[in-house]
Structure 1
Amino acid sequence: MAYNEPNSGTRKQIDDNLRRVFQEKVEEEVPERFKQLLAQLQEQDTKKGSGEQK
């Protein structure tokens, strides 16, 4: 099967669609569970920095 190079109009459409999809992902809210895990890690780092050990 031969590969045909997309023309500039097709390329622009692909670029626009990819930008739209990735922008939607960037704007999504971070899941609450992930926020909780990040908070736990930050707390552990803070305790390690102050000399406390769990």
Structure 2
Amino acid sequence: MTSDKDDTKDSASQGGEKDRNTVNRQKKDAQPGWANGLRQLYDSVVEEELPDSFKDLLSKLDGKN
């Protein structure tokens, strides 16, 4: 059997998680404009395909060529 105290504790822990998400969102929104630009630049570089010359070099270093 669950007491009312346990229900309150569960609600509070869920509310705490929601509060943390709200705070994290507010921190992200409060960042300067250049931070968002830098994040977009980083993401675009990470998403780029590896150039063939790098693939060839890695293949040679692995001893496959």
TM-score, reference length from structure 1 = 0.56
What is the number of equivalent residue pairs in this alignment?
A: 36
2:55 is equivalent to residue 35 of structure 1: yes
Query: Percent of aligned pairs with the same residue?
Result: 34
Instruction: Give 5+ residue unaligned stretches, structure 2.
Output: 1-28
What's the offset of the Cα at 1:25? 0.6
- What RMSD in Å do the two structures reach over aligned CA positions? 2.2
Question: Per chain length, whose mean CA-contact separation is higher, i.e. which structure has more relative contact order (CA < 8 Å, sep 6+)?
Answer: 1
- Structure 1 stretches (4+) deviating beyond 6 angstroms? none
Residues 1-54 of structure 1 deviation map (CA, whole Å, 9 limit, x = unaligned): xxxxxxxx8x5211000000111011100001110110111017xxxxxxxxxx
Instruction: Give 5+ residue unaligned stretches, structure 1.
Output: 1-8, 45-54
| More helix, by proportion | 2
TM-score, reference length from structure 2 = 0.47
